[in-house]
């Protein structure tokens, strides 16, 4: 676990869709994990997933990625995973593979 500060209260994690910045965010205080995307014709190209050191080892990236995919589904969008984390996450979760663009 990379978190040198000890434990993180994951119940305090706030998940949001920041459309102005084209990203999904998971935040506690000033710390933010990100799933960034480019949106074109209803397809969300997930270009980067970032988790700060304080969040690593708590499943924050997985929670945020699932939140992003759930939001995209609710909006009727499709997904084109570009970043390695998003590709691997979708490969390991067949229940979201129907969101893939071109599927």
Tell me, what CATH number does 54's domain have?
3.40.630.30
In a domain, 48, yes or no: yes
In a domain, 38, yes or no: yes
Task: For 36-66, write each residue's pLDDT tens digit.
Answer: 999 999 999 999 999 999 999 999 999 999 9
Long-range contacts of 1-4, Cβ-Cβ distance < 8 Å, separation of 24 or more: 1/56, 1/57, 2/53, 2/56, 2/57, 3/53, 3/54, 3/55, 3/56, 3/57, 3/58, 4/53
In a domain, 32, yes or no: yes
Which residues constitute the domain of residue 58? Answer: 10-99
Task: For 60-77, write each residue's pLDDT tens digit.
Answer: 999 999 999 999 999 999
pLDDT level of residue 103 (50, 70, 90 thresholds): low
């Amino acid at each position: 676990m990379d978190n040198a500060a000890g434990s993180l209260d994951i119940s305090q994690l706030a998940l949001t869709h920041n459309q102005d910045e084209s990203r999904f965010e998971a935040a506690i205080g000033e710390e933010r994990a990100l799933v960034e995307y480019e949106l074109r014709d209803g397809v969300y190209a997930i270009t980067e997933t970032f988790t700060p050191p304080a969040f690593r080892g708590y499943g924050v990236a997985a929670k945020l990625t699932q939140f992003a995919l759930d939001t995209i589904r609710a909006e009727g969008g499709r997904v084109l995973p570009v970043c390695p984390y998003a590709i691997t996450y979708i490969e390991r979760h067949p229940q979201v593979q129907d969101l893939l663009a071109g599927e």
